Each structure stands twice: as C-alpha cells, then as structure tokens.
Structure 1
Amino acid sequence: MTTTPVTWKSIATVNDPTNEAGSQNEPRITELRDGRILITWRDSGDNYDDRSGNDIVGQLYEIDGTPIGQPFLLNTIWNGGPNTGSGGGSEHDHDIAATPDGGWFVVYEDNNGDANFIRGERFDSNGNLAGQYTIAQGSLTNDDAVYNPSIDVAANGDWVVTFARQDGNGMKTKAIVFDNNTYSTVEHDFGSRSEGTAGGPVQVSNDTAILSNGNIVTVNEDYASLSVNTRINVRVTQPDGTIVRDFLAQTSVNNWNWENVRVEALEGGGFVVTYRAVNNGADDYGIRAAVYNNAGQTVVSPFYVAFDNNNSSSTLRFSASDVTPLDDGGFLIGWVEGGSLHFQRYDGAGVTVGNELTVPAAQPGFGSNDRFESFDMTRTQDGRIMVVWDDPSQSGGDPIQFMILDVRDDGMTVTGTSQGDGLTTPNGGGTVNAGAGADNVVGRSGNDTFIDTDLTSGDHYNGRLGIDTIDYSNVTFSGATQINLALGQVTNSFSGLMDTLENIENVVGSQGGETITTISNTTYVHAQGGNDRVIVNETNMDGDFYEGGSGTDWFDISNIVFITPLDITHELTLQLFRTGGITSGGEALQGFENIDGANNIGNSVETFVGTSGANEFHGNGGRDVFRGNGGADKMYGGADNDEFVVANTHLVSGVVFDGGSGTDRMQLVNTGTYNFRPITTITNIEEFTFSSALTQLKTLQFNASQFGSGGLSNVTFNGGNGDEQLQVFMGASTVVDLSALMFSNWAHSWDEEVLITGDNSAENITGSVVDDRILGSGGNDTIDGGEGGNDELDGQGGVNTVSYASALSAVQVNLGLQGNYQNTGGGGSDLLTNFSRLTGSDYNDTLTGDNLQNILRGGAGNDTLDGMGNSSTSSEQVYGEGGNDTITRRFHSNVGMTLDGGANTDTLIAPDLTFGDLVDFAGGFIWENGVKWDTISNFENYQGSAGEDFIGNDSNNTVTFTGLNYVNNIQTGAGDDNVFAGGGADIIIGGKGLDNLRGEAGNDRFIVGIDDLTANETMNGGGDTDTVEVRGQASFDLRNINLISIENLEFAEGGDQAVIIISDSQAQELSGIDGNSVEDSFLEIYLSRQDFDASDLSFSDWVPGSDEITIWGNDADNTIIGTRYNDDIRGGNGEDTVDYSGASAAVNVTLNGAVGIGSGGEAEGDRLRDIENLIGSKYDDELEGDDESNRLIGGLGGDELRGLGGTDYLGGGAGENFLDGGADEDFALFDGVRASFAVTRMGDVVML
C-alpha cells in the first residue's frame, strides 16, 4: 500500500514569469471531465490583454501534464476596459469547477471602483463560451459590496456559488444554486454573519462543497460581536437554503485567530474542514482539521495537523492549508510550512497514514491579503492529487507552478464511469477499466493494462513507458475489426468511432474476430474468442507469447522479411522458434490453427508443422517446408522453392497443396498407397519425390481432374529404389493429358508404370512419356499413349480412338494388328486392343485400318492412310488433315466412305476402281457403277490405275494413272494441274490454270476451251497419235502453249469461225488439222523463223472457201511454202517469197492488185499479201508481178512470167518460157552456159 504520497509528475512552471509584468497569484487547478487539467491564476500585469486591471488567465494541459496551446483569458466578457467608476476595473478572487459536459465554470469578483459583482462564465469542452452570468452585485459606496466567490459542481449538473455580501453590519455568506443548469437569482443564506472587528466589517474567506447526499456545506471565518478573535463557522444546508445544521467548528479563543478555512466532501459521505491557527500573543502557529458527517455531526473533533509554538522567527510559519478526499474515504491535507509545501495522509477516522511528505522546491507565497490563495489542491477522478501554487520569491513576474502526487497502490485497478473519463495509472503500473464513453486513459512508467468495455467509442489509450496492454476481452466485436498497434488505431466496420492507441505493446482481443497488428516491442497477445488474425511485425524471436484463443486463428508474419535461416514449427503447442541466428528465447504460440509465413529472401527457410486438426499455412516468400500432420490442412507455398512433407496417412478430404511460384516439391516419406484423390486442390507442384530409402512398392493415386488445369501439369515424379506406380482415375473428368509429366529414376517396365483407368463416359486420355497402361472402360474414348514408352492401350467398351498426337516422331500403326505388340516407331512398342479409330502424329505417319468401320486421322505431317476397305454396315472415314497426305480408297461392300485430304496438297489413290467409274474432285464424290458412292474432299492429286474417269477441282491437281491401255476421261479444274494419263486413249480436259498435261501412251485427246489456256502450260501427248481439240466460237492462241508430241489439231463441232493460232515451229510438229463439216474453221500460223514449209500438213473435214488458213510472215525475208488448201499468206515486212515448187500441178499466180490471187495446183484459192517474189512449179506456170520490183522464178516447164512495173528479175528456168519485164528496167535471169540458151526477141532489147 502506498501510504506516503509519491510524485506522479514533477514540478512544472505554467507561465513565463521572466517576461511577465505585475504579480501572478490566486492559483487554482481543476480536472476536466476527460482528464485534461485546467490551471488558472490572477494576473495583475495585463500580460494577456491590452486592458488595465486584473485578469483571470488559464492554461490547459493533457492528462499527463503536457501543455495544450497557450495561456488564455477566462474573463472574456468582463475584462476591465474604460473605467466605469472612480476605482477602475479589476477581475480577481476567482474560483473554478469542472462541469459534467467536459467544460468548466469560472466565478470571480469584478470591481469597477464604484460597484463590484460576482460574475460567472461557463465554457464548453472546446473552450467556447457557453454562458455568462452576473450572479450578484454590490455597491462599494453603500456598504453593500460582494466578495470572495466559491463554486462547486455536483455530478448531476447542479452548481452552487457562494460569496460574501456586506450588509452594513458585517459580512454574510450567500449562495446562488443552479439547479440542473437552471440559473436562479435567489440568494440563500449559506453561512453566519461576521460582524467584523471594532474597526468595522472585514472580508472573510468562504469555501463550499456539495456533499454526497446533495446537501451543501459552507465554511467561513466569523468575527463575532466585533471581536478581534475569529471562529470557524460551518453551515450545512439543502440546495433550497434550508439549514440542516449551523455550528462552529472552532469557537473563539482569546488571542487566537482561526483563518483561511477550507472544506472538502469525502468519498462515502461527510466532509473535512481545515484551517490555520494563529496565537498572536505567543507566536504559536498550526494547521487544524476536523471531520463531520453529511448532517454536520462531528466524526473527528478538531486536531492539529501541524503545530509549532513560541517561534517568533517566522510569523508565517504555517500560512495556509488545503484538503482533498481520497478514494478510500480518507483525506490528504497540504499546508505551507516555512515556505515549503507539506502533505499528510489520513484515514476517515483522522488517523495518519504513512509519513509526512515535504516538497522543499514548492514554495508558495503568502501575504496579509492573500488569505488561502497561495496554493490549491484537487483530487482527480482516478485518485491522483494535483497541486498548484504561486512562488513570489523570484524577481519579475511570479511563477505559477504545479505538480501531481499519487497515493494509489501500484497494480491497482482504476475504474471509470459511463461518461468520457480521463484516467491514469500509478507510477508502478496498474489496470484501468474506463467504462463507457470516450475516455482518455494514460499510463505512467509501469506495465499497465487498459480494459475497454464499450467497443470502439472514441477512447484514447496512451501507455507511455513500460510494457502496456489493451484488453478488449470483455466485449465481442462484430464486423471487420482492426486492433492495429502500428497505426495506433482500433476500428470496427459497425462503428463510426475509432479508439486511439499510443505506446501500447500488448493486446488482449475481444470475444469476436479481429485482426491484431503488433509492433516490435510486443511481448504478449491473446486474441481470445472469434476467428482472429495476429499480424506480427518484429524479427527478433525473444520470448514473446502469442495466444490465438478459441475460434480459428491466424499467426501472421507476412510483413516480415528474414534474410537468415528461419524455422517456424507449428506443433500442438504451436511453438515458434528461430535457429541459425538467435539460439535463446523463442516465441511461444498457443491456440493458433493457421500461419501466414514471412516473406523471406536468400537462404531463409520456414518449417510449418501442423497439428492433427485442420491448419492453413501460407509460406509466402522464401523456401518453406510444410508438415501438415493430418487434418484438412491448406498449405500454400507462395514464392520460391517450397517442400511439402507428406505421409500417406495425411491425405484427407479438404487438404490443399498449392506450391505457388518457384519449383515446389512433394516429399513422400513412406511406402504404401498415397491416395490424393480426396484432395480437392493440388496445384503448382513441380516434383513428387520418394526417399531413396524406400525400397517397397509405392503407389500414387490421383483423379484426372487434378492434372492440367486442375493444378498438376509440368510435374516430375522422382522414384525411389523400389517400384512405383502412378494411377490416374478419370472419375467425372472427360479429359486428362499426362504428356507434360516428367519422370526420374523411373524404370521403363511394367513394374513402374502409369495406369490410367476410365469409366463409362466418353473420355480423352493422353498418357505419359513412360510406359502407360490405359484402360478406357465404357464410353467412346480417345486414348493417346503419350510421347514415349511402350504402352498397353485398351479402349474396352464403346467406339474408341487410339491417338499418336503426342508422338515425337513418325508412327506406323496398323489396326489390323490389334492384340499384338507392334513397333510404331515414334510411339514405342504398343499393344492396342478394342480400337476402331486411329489418329496420327504431327509427323509423316503410316496409318492402316482393319477392314472394319474405321476412322483414320493423319494429323500434321505427310501421312499415308489406308482404311483397308470396309465390310461393315457403317461408313469408313479417312481424314488426312495437315500435311501432304496420301489416302488409299479401297473396296467396300455396304456403304460409301468419307475421304478428306485436309490441308496442303493431298493425293487420293483408288486402286479398286474400273471402267465407267468416276472420281469427281469438283463434285466431291466417287461414282461406282453409276451410283454416287463415296464422299471426297480437299484432294489435289489423284492416282488411278484402271479405266475410271476423273474430274478435277480448282486446286492444283496432279492426276496420275498407272494402268495400261485404259481409256480415261480426265478433267481438271482451275488450278495448276499435273495429269499423267498413263496408257490408253485418254481424254484430258485441263481447265483453267497453268497445267502440265501428259497423255502418255495411247491416242490421247486434249480438249481445250477458250478459258482453259494459260501461257506456258504443257500438253504432252506422249506416245502414239495425240490430238488437241478446241471447243467453242473463239480464238485459241496456242503459241505460248507447250505442245509436245501433239500430232493433230481439231476444231470441234459447235465452234463456228473458231480460230487456232499456232507458231511455225508448232506447225512443223503437226501431222494434220481436222476441221468439221458444219462450221467454218480458221487456222493461223505465225512465223518466228525465215523459211516455212506447211506442205506436209494434212487436213480433214476441211472445206476450201469456208475454212481458211492464214500464214503470217515476220520482218525477215521469208520463203513460205503453203498448204495444199487455199491459204492466206501475208508476208509482212522484208522481201518475201511464196514457193510453189512442190505443187502437184501448174499454178497461176498474180501479185498485181491489193491482194494477190492464186489458182491451179496448190495455189488454188490462195491470197497473197505483201509478197514480192514467186517460185513456180515444175509445170507450165503463169506468174505475174506487180508495179513494184519482183523476182519471178518459173522453174521447170514452159512458164509465162510478166514483171509489170518496177525493176523485175525474171527467171524462166528450164523449158520454153515467156518473159515479159513490163515497164521499167527489168532483168531476165538465166542459169547455165549462155550458149545453150535460145532467145527470141519480141520487143525490147535483150542483152546477153
């Protein structure tokens, strides 16, 4: 027990005396409702305003004595100013009390020289003026003055103001009562009359207090019957002025004065009176006190608190006293002795408790007119004692000083009210239960606990020194709640108010769920009830204790970054310890279910070890090791490389394994079966590893849904020294792909295999890179053995597909070999069973069906597919898909098949077709025996072998027939086609595009429409006699067409006035031209060389006169031999010659006129244009030039040559010839010895 008061706050100076004028005295100290401190004093030096006279000045302090702002005036309404009377203005002799609303009420005497007043000003908690009152008024000139006001305020809001009123015969104590904040102007007699001394009435001190029962006690000095000796008068009244008891606490004694009286109500009832005793005749001084109950009955008779007799050295040895109640019903008396403050504690019976306390540094002043104003003492609501005094001993202004004492026991509990309280703890620490309201709670230097019972209500807790705890265990938070020591805030989503925390290290949570955030100095957290999260913000593992309490609680160190090895062990006691840095200490965890780990870097390692119940761990950054130890544990690795240590007994429904980023490993620690199937979440795990010490069989069981998008994709399975088996059950899943799985120390044998088991639904299953055994069960399944391994694949029930889409190289698969191992190449050595459908890889595969209802799909790559025909009642389907594929179509007995080449350039082979069948690429069908049978699409090339017909599409077709002597009708489309017709008299229609058409053996016919010609395409007839047939009424220019081994050109019927244009070189390769007997046909031959002989061309169905042949010369000096039919020969530029030397009869040709005309022999019907020379036949010819220079050669026979105009050269040749040069100078040409020629001159000179 604290018996002698101790210092809670050391002496502090309130004002700035060195810079202040006048004097400063009448100090008062008051605690406001919220614990703030208000110190007031009288200032005579006008230091705080510019008006003359005394003022009342105040200074606010926080509950711990920290100043708030600057000093300020309290007499805001009446503050001196211009003189209103002969004496000027002055406000002094004040008293002050706190109000229940957090403000204060100040009363003071206002003296203007002629009159004086008792004034009152009320302020709210923010210092704003809330009311102003003139409580009493007196006249200084009419002996009716008022003096010495005193105020007290009850907890219910009633106030009482007492004061002394002069009435001409002395002083009488009066009072005004404010009942429940209602001002009354009725003055009540609250004390006896003091008649003064023989010299007249004098001012006497008053003091008042409201008792616990609501009565009011007033004390004053009483000068009775003009005596020089005083006595102490006490009056107890009811608030309406009814006197309960009026008595003298101290009667008059000769030579003794009893003065400076003070009164204070006690806790639990009663009051104590203290006053100064002065024996003027003997220099005796003392401080006396007495105790009374609420009715004014004596409990403890007057006694001396301190006394010194016969001491003439100091007439002011005991100069003033004050008293304040204590929480235990006792009281503390303070007094001025020898210039210093002294204190003594008493119990309620007036017995001293502890020793007297002397504070030498506290030196209140005292003057003859100061009465008891030199110091003031007040108890706070939490039990401390505040003391203020003025010290006039210094030069300049007078310091106003204060200190705070404490009589409370360390470790005690301070209890607040339902209102907003200001509470503190003792120096050595204690507990504060502030109760309701917005409380202001401050600790001291000890370890304090602050108990909050009103949720978040705007409380402010400041632990100051020591290790302090905020305790919400008596409440239950609902909604989102944060108790954040780092931010100094307590917030709740259901409350608009916030509690503020300062210098709080520890937390006791509520019975609800909240998030508690610690600081580096936290040593203890107890989260209590609800689902809590405790966020720890320190890296030192130094013996702190964390208790999760009931509910599902989180221990959260995710804000921490460790860069040295760390080990977190979450066992039954949830003990957290650190190794590798600090070997002593260790954090104790209890009652937590979950951990949110640190965000470590470097080589830091956290190990999480769970209980047998359900835990949740988050590793966050750094390498983490998780040991769930059973229960539905949720483990999240977070960043970096983590490890999950798992026994097969730990796998239960609800467990979560999530490795997060980095390379995360599942460490499997025992043999037997690991059934992961109940695990709903297993994701971001990169490795499953068996210990090398495990030599017996280990089996891993998974659901298919746990792979791929289910969480396990690029996983490596590291086997141990024994055998391992990975079992995957399709369950409700329809797709699983294990191709990305990797295996280490996993033998390629059936002892270490991957077993995938389907169900009755349709499933898509892809195996692994090792040996797989895949059982489709029921349903229409697609099964892929994966990238490698020797697999056993069994579709079982349903219509099933075996796929090699995962193979890393080309495969060769034959469904006809099911039931036997077959070396598939890129797919390993596989055993296939119960498959009717086959899908290849991305490479150049060979896929073969089994003569049943097959569906083959080549995939990418240049594949060779052969369904082997179909003897079932269902359609066979073969799809080449990507790549340049070759598909073989074979005989089938019941229904047609579907053949689809897919993308790129694909070839259809149909070895079973025969005469009359049709392969129609354009229409998309194969016709067999006149029936539309198979559906075909996306083929570019065709390879036939018999007499079937072919129609191409608009792709670049390559058509090849390999059979001998089969007549094929081949028609391609608009693409750049290649046709190899093979043997037989084939009909080939190239269509549009740059085609390469090869008839090969047989009398082939190339049929050309006007739109079918493309420059540089080829028509190669091959062996035998081949024909190009043009169809349509158009001009067919074949000069840019490569005609190879083409013997005949033919005009088809229906092509009236069709024109075929060929070059001289093309004409030289031809044997014949076939017209038709119905329409006119036109052949045009263009020379590219100098000489041309068309005489070997044969014509059939050629009608002279309607069918025409035109031969076009070029810029050279051409010599042209025409055909046996009527030719239109056009020489063009150069000196051109038409040669009839091979004519079968005499010719008659004239060049005279716009168009030369020929007749007879091969000249019959010829028309000559731009021809300069003629050569006759071996018969008797008639050749005639024109008006230009001509050369006419007769040849054999008796020829008649006429040059006409121009310089002509006429050579008759052998025989008797007639030469007529015509006009101009002409020359006769002779070949041989001149003497052998006989010349008969018929006209002009002939010179030989």
Structure 2
Amino acid sequence: MDAAGNIPELNSYWSQLTTKSYTSSSFSTPLIKGGSYGSTFSIQVGGALAFNKFKATLTGHVSSLVLLENGQTRLSVATNDPVYVQNVSRLPLSLFVQGNDVITGSSLDDTIFGVTGNDRLYGKGGADRLNGGSGNDGLDGGLGNDALFGGDGRDTLTGGAGADTISGGAGIDTISYVGSDARVSINLSTGTGSGGHATGDRLSDIERVVGSRYNDVIVGNGLSNTLQGGGGHDWLSGGSGTDVLEGGIGRDTLSGGSGADIFVLRNIADSGIGETRRDLITDFTPADVLDLRSISSRFALTGDFTGKGGPQLHYYHTTSSNGTRITVVEGDLNADRKADFQIALKGHIALSADNILGDLLVSPSGTPGGDPFTGGSRNDTLVGGYGADTLVGNGGDDHLFGGYGNDALFGDSSEPSSTRYHDWIGTPGHDALFGEWGNDTLYGGAWNDTLSGGYNDDVLYGESGDDVLQGDSGDDALVGGAGKDLQQGGLGDDTINVGAVSEMLGDTVDGGLGIDTLVADYSALGTGLTFTAADDLFTYFAPGGFLVTGIEIYQITGSKFGDSITGYALNDTLNGGGGADYLRGLGGDDSLVGGTGRDLLDGGNGEDHVFGGTDDDTLMGGLGRDTLYGEQGNDSLDGGDGHDTLYGGEGNDGLSGGAGNDTLYNDAGRDTLWGGDGNDTFKIGADEGAADEVHGGADGDEVEFIVSSPSSAYSAYIDLENQAANAGIAHNDRFSEIEKFIGTDWDDVFLGDGIANYFEGGDGGDILNGRGGNDTLDGGRGSDVLTGGAGADLFVLDLSLTNGKWPADIITDFNRAEGDKLVVQGGVPTLEQGLDSNASAAGPVFIFETDTRRLWYDADGSDPEGNPILVATLLNVTSLFTTDFVL
C-alpha cells in the first residue's frame, strides 16, 4: 500500500498480503493480476462507511472479484465510473452482504446477494441477478432482463423494464408494478405478465400483486392471493382460495372466485356514487366479506340516512341500466343523510352483519320506526330509531341502541363465550333489555326500564326512572340510579348499589341466592346515621327509605356527622366519613375506616383491617389475626386475641398486642407498646428521638431495630442496666421484659443486665456484652466483639456467614468452667489442635491454633486444594474440646 493509502497491485502469485485499516470513501488498486489458471480476489470492506467508488484494472486470468462487507458498510456503484471493474474486465461484480444493507449496482450485469438482514437491492442497468436471502427484502431490477429471487421472508419485488424472471421464494411475497409506464396484465395461474413493465415477465411463488395507475388486469391462482389494482379501472379475479381484492381508485370490477373472499374499501374515493363510478363485485356470496374498517376508523361517524342518532350503512336492491339485477351497498359518514360511497353487488343479495367488517351500523333500508333487526355473528352496532324496535345482537360483541320509543333489546341467542362483552343502551322510552348469554353491560337510560342480565356476569345500570334490574344467573353488578328501583340479584354472588341518599328512597333490594353485597352511600345525609345490618333472612327498611332482604355483605359509607354503623357476619366494609363514629364489624374479615373525627372502631371476630384516620381514635381488633393502623392523631390500639399487627402511625400512640404472637410498630411520636401474652415482636424505627416505652409482657419477646436510612447514625446503643444511656435509634427509649434484641446493619452496642439476654448484632462490627446471666450472643455478619460475662453463655458461630470477606469475631471471655459453649450452625464435630491451621484428616474439620487462639474451619480437611476459614479468636483460651461445641 502506498503513502496515499492505495494498493498499487494485487497479484495472485503473492503468498501473503499485508492488511491495513482504510477509512476513505473510495478504494483504488490500479492493477489486479491473475495467475495462469484464473484467480479469485476477495476484498473485505469494513467499518461504518459508504463506499461510492471502487477502481480496479484486471489483467491476466482473473475469473472473478468478490467484495465482502460487514453489515455496516454501504457500497454504491456509480453508472458512469470509467474504470469500474466490469468496464475493464467484463467480468461480473459479485457483492455478498450481511446486515440490513442498501446496495445499488451499476449499469452492467451485477450479481448482488443479500445473504441475511432486511436488504434493499437495486440492479439499475444490465441483466442483473438479485437474491434477497433471508429477511424481508426489497429487490428492484431496474432496466434490463433481470433475475430476482426473494428468498425467505416477506419480500417486495419490482422487475422494472425488461423481460424479468421473478421468484418470491418462501414467505408472503409481493410483485409491484406501481412504476409501470402502461397498463399491465398479470396471471399468477400461468406465471406470465404482459403490457408495460410486465412484458415478458415470468413469475413464481408470488402471493400479492400491486398494479399500476392504469387499467390493469390481474388474475390470481388456486392459492390465497392479495390483488390490489391501484389507480385506473381495473379488473381483478381472485380464482380459487380465500383472496383479498382491493380495487383502489377508479371504477373497478372484482371477482373473488370460489372460496370465502374479502373485498377491501380503504377510502371513500375508491368507490364513488352512481353506476359509472362505483365498484362492481360480480360474484358476492354469503361467505364473502366487505372490509370497511379503514373507513369506519378514519371518519367521525356522527350521522346517518334517517336521523336515528348513529352512523349507518345500508343496502337496497335495484336494476342497472343494462337490466342486470344488483344490490347497492351505501354509507353515510358525515351526517348529511346522503351516501358518501357505494358498492354494487351483482344479483339481489340479502346481507347481514356477518358480511361486514367495521364499526358501522348495518340495517336494511326502511322506515324510521318499529324496526325488527338481527345482527350477525360478528361485532355489530344496531340502532333502533323512533318506534318500538326489537333488536337482537345474535353472536359477537354488539352495541345495541334502542333509540326513542319502547324498545326490546336482546343480546345473544347463541351459546355463551368467555370473551364476549356487550354494551346495550336504551335511550328515552320504556325499554326492555335482555342480556342473554355473555358478560353484558346494560344501560336503561331515561324512563322506566326493565333490564335482565341473563347468563354469565353482567353489569346493569337503571339510570333515571323506576327501573327493574334482574341479574339472573352469574355474579352481577346492579346500579339502580335515580327513581324507585327494584333490584334483584338472582343467582350468584351479586353486588347491588342503591347509590346516594337522593337515589335510594323507595328502592327495593333482594339479593337472592348466593353471597350478595349491598352498597349504600350516606355521605350527603343531613344528620348522623344509625345503620345496623340484619340477617339475610329478614326483610327490613334501611335508613334512607329502602327495603332490604337477602343481603350478606355490607359496604356502607357514613355521613359527615357522628354515625353508628354495625355490620354482620361476613366481610363488611364500613366507612365512617366525617364526625365521631362508632363502627362495629362483628363477624367476618371486615375493613373499617374511621375517617375524620374521634372514632371508636371494633373489628369483632375475623381477620380485620382497621384504619383510624385523622384525630384521636380507638381501634380494637377483637378475635382473629387483625391489622390496625392508627394513622394521624394520638390513638389507642388493642389487637385483642390472635396474632395481630399494629401500626401506631403519627402521634403519641398506645399499642397493646393482647393475647397471641403480635407485631407492633412504633412509627412517629412518643409511643407506648405493650406486647401482652405471647411471643411478641417490636419493630422500632427512627422517630427523631421520641421517648418510646416498650414492655414485652409474658413469654419470649424481642425488639428488632429497623432502619431504612443508609446512615451509621441510626445504629443502636442499648444499656439495660443504665437505660438513660440508650442512644442512636434507641435514643430516649425504655425497654422492659424483653428477652431478645436484634441490631441494625450498622455497628451496634448491646449491654445486658443480670438476667438472660439474647443479643443478635446483625450486620456491622457489633459489641455484645451479656454481663450477668446465661446469655446468647450472635454477632451476625461483620467482625464482632462478644463478651458473655458471668453465667453459662452461648456464643453463636454461623459458618454460612464466615466466608473470609471480613475478620472473624473475637470472644473475650470464653469460660468452660462457667458452662460457656460455642454454638455452631452448619458445622461438624471433628476437632484438631496444633500450632497451624493445616488439617491432618480428610473431610470437614475445626482447627484450633493453640498459640494464636484462632479457631479455623476447613471444609476440605487435608485436601491441599482446600482453604481454611477463620471463624473466631478466643482470647485467654489454650485448648478446646468437642464438648465445648453445641451443634
């Protein structure tokens, strides 16, 4: 390579070529010499460059030149390059590319192979060979008689001018004649083309054809084809198979052939108004479909032909000017009550909603009132009009609008579907809505309506008027709305909502069979509420003036005054709202919310959740595993019997766990915590030095310090003999009858008293001193200092935490005579002693160095590959025995 970066000569006789990185946008080697039997030269193009010029002169017996690139480089060959490879050697240029490449060939005969990736290959002039390889490729042969092979993937092939041989390969492939300069005729059955750019073309493995802007003729084959005419007055014939035909702009003639075909109208400009402008489908059958989805999603559907209040697509039968019987389908999209597009179908055909894809109303033409109409099996929209209409959705997820008048709306007369969701709306009039099968949503609208959910899980809204709501079978939700409503849940676990105070007067509620729930909102009541739930077998008048029977669960919201609300045996939700309220859950797993005011909340039996809200509240869990939240104010919490969880919240709170193994959180403020009977756990967090009192009570209780702040200032300092010295997270706190303390992730100090203490340091370098009594000291992670003091003490050594990443614990006063023991978690009883840490026996073993007082653990024993781990240092200990260990 010379100083300018060019290669003066490539010679096939050379045994080795020196490589060099090259960053220019052009590449030049004046001379490429071949051997006596012909040579192949390969040049690797690398880097993220766009090479727009490649110069080379070939001499001798050079059979081919191959350029390889790395998937990032684009190589573009200029047509007017005077020293391009083909111009000199008249040999084919071969490009083998990987990645998502854009390759433009020359005016000569190029061979371009896309290999992998989504490529765009352009042959330009010459008889080119383009192969897309794998991926979704675009191939354009340009001028000349080209050969195009799509390969795997969804490819788009454009032969251009010339007699081309085009094969799509595997996948759904497209042949495009959009750029043709004249009309084309394409026949996929014979694999031939004629006219314009299709002249002389041979086609295979093509599934989709896109025509030109002229009057094209496109014929499919026995497979499923997609034929698009483009502009002009086209004639499309699908043949056998399930075909998709789209005429495009112009007066097109479409023939689906045998099979269930889809005829697409993408824009109202594709099929105009009148016999000379609209498309004609010559063989529409009940199995075929008009796809109008692009129209219905593109336009605001606010008008129709008759003023019924919704968009409309309808059809009528007539005769064309030549005497042919036709069916005209037309739609109004802009609320001017005039057709915006038409499609003609040969013959008098009875259409249903099954023949339409799109969000448009489907109805036969007729008068605006008293319409009986049945939808198809797909998703229909039916609008009744002014009269007493009967609408049947049939299959699918339908929208039914009763319109004005006394209407009857039926959802589905077929079998149920787990994915069916219906919306049925009755506008003014005395309507009857029947959900039948499926998970339905019914809206009664104004006036006195009857709503019947039918099968499955339905939602019924009576809205205004004196309505009758019947859930029937399934787990239904009923909302009466304004008026004197009769709400009947029927079978299943139903929820019946009588609404606000202004809506519930005069209602009648019957839950029926199942576990039913009553929802009532008294927040607008002008005085305090007294609500006492009753057995579901009784019928009684509830506050607000409605009759209740068959209800098992209550969801009651109180007023802004002082209320008294009592639930019943199951899982009630009681919200006091404002004022000083008295809420009692009684049986079941209840949720009680005090709201504002000084409330008294009693969960009763069951696993209750009780929330005090603002002000100074009293919370009682009762029997069961309850969770109590004091929230704001100076609250009093009593868990009662059972394993309860109590959160004081803000303020100076008093927490009593009662009987059972309870968990108590101090939270903010100066709190007093009483564990009561059972093994209780006190979670003590940072509360800015508030003086908390923690009393364990009977049995074995523990204090665990919980810190969310990553700061060593929140470590714990506890001195049980002089608690005035308590500091850190325990500043000003006092503890009594606590058997166990668990430290933070920082460096804690725990100093015991004359009784048996259990100290667990947690993470960090902790100092644990039991003083008098039979203590248990567990340093946890980190290098800890453990001092048992007087008494038979236990020193816990967890081998799973001893991994050599930090120094081992120091035990200052191990005394065999006092009964001290080493508690080993995960260890073995084998013990060796000596002047080093080398084990003599195979297998797991403890090794005590008598001179350094260090205790080692070797999981591999005498295996030279094993490494012993330092467990602890025992000061003033000269020997250990297996009897000193507790495993």
Same fold (TM > 0.5): no
Which TM bucket (shorter chain)?
0.3 to 0.5
TM-score, with length taken from structure 1: 0.29
Normalization by structure 2: what TM-score? 0.39
Q: Which has the larger radius of gyration?
A: 1
